[in-house]
A and B are shown apart, each in its own frame.
Chain A
Amino acid sequence: MNILVALDGSESSQRAIEFIQQRPWLDLDHFLIISVVEPDKADVSMASALTKTSEAFFGECEKVLSRARDSVKEKLPRNKIETRILTGPVKDTIIDCAREFNADLIVMGSQGRKGINRLIIGSVAEAVLRGAPCSVQIIRKKG
């Protein structure tokens, strides 16, 4: 099975990684862990400021991804685990990636960093769920 894990560095996406670590998987299961950098809408008048933020964000994404890969690899040493940073609108980028990767399952947190209410599923998660070509698992923090 091809499993696409979409991370954004939020608490619920950390839970997605913990979920993968705790569950049993087949040796053949192939993981692709991604993080999507969305072009900031504020760039219209502040081109240079944006570039800096984007670069910092890329760095942050790389850290999140390599930490995630290491912790999954530790539990699942025999599985193939890749990471990728993608740019574009979050929802479409995740869905396109799922198609291209021929994902059987997308795993993601219930809300990203923009979420304000623990009870409400993130708009990104919901949009991905609607457009996904495959099964989607939304991980929610317990309690």
Chain B
Amino acid sequence: MRVMIALDGSECSKYALDHVVKRPWRVDDLFLIAHVVEPIPVDIGIAYVPNAYSQTDGAAADAAYALMEVAKKELHEALPSHSVETKVAFGMVKSELLDLAKSWKADLIVMGSHGRTGFNRLLLGSVAEEVLRGAHCSVEIVKQHK
């Protein structure tokens, strides 16, 4: 089975990774840890500032690669004989995740119930919901046990 784990660096997406680490897997299961860097809309209300824009995006990209390395290491330590790939995509989170799931031929997407923009623990995050609706494959939404 091809398992894509979508992370966004939030507490909740950490649960998703922890969940994968704790569960049993088959020897032929493959993992892809994915993260999408969404362009930061700094140009709302103020003039578009190209330098500031690319600098923030560059910092976001660096943070993304760092996040992927940590996650890959954690997964690799728990499942040393499994193949773990990482991918940082740039664009709109929902469409990038769905495209990636399709092109990588994921059988399952694992993600947290809400990400960094979530404000209510009881609500299902909009990204999770959109991915769930649009995904061609099974989706596991990981919630912290209440």
Chain A interface residues toward B at CB < 8 A: 1, 19, 22-26, 104-105, 110, 119-121, 126, 129-130, 132-140, 142-143
Q: Categorize the interface residue count of chain B.
A: 20 to 34
Given A138-B138, A140-B137, 10 extra CB contacts under 8 A: A22-B1, A26-B24, A121-B133, A135-B142, A137-B108, A137-B140, A138-B141, A142-B107, A142-B136, A142-B137
User: Do B138 and A135 touch across chains, with their CB atoms under 8 A apart?
Assistant: no
Task: Report 28 cross-chain contacts, Cβ distance below 8 Å, ordered by A residue.
Answer: A1-B23, A22-B1, A24-B25, A24-B26, A104-B145, A120-B133, A121-B132, A121-B133, A126-B132, A129-B113, A129-B141, A130-B124, A133-B143, A133-B145, A133-B146, A134-B143, A134-B146, A135-B140, A135-B142, A135-B143, A136-B140, A137-B138, A138-B140, A139-B138, A140-B138, A140-B139, A142-B136, A143-B136
A121 to B128, CA, bound (A): 12
Closest to B27 in A: A24
A133 to B145, CA, bound (A): 6
Chain B interface residues toward A at CB < 8 A: 1, 19, 23-26, 107-108, 113, 123-124, 129, 132-133, 135-143, 145-146
A24 to B1, CA, bound (A): 11
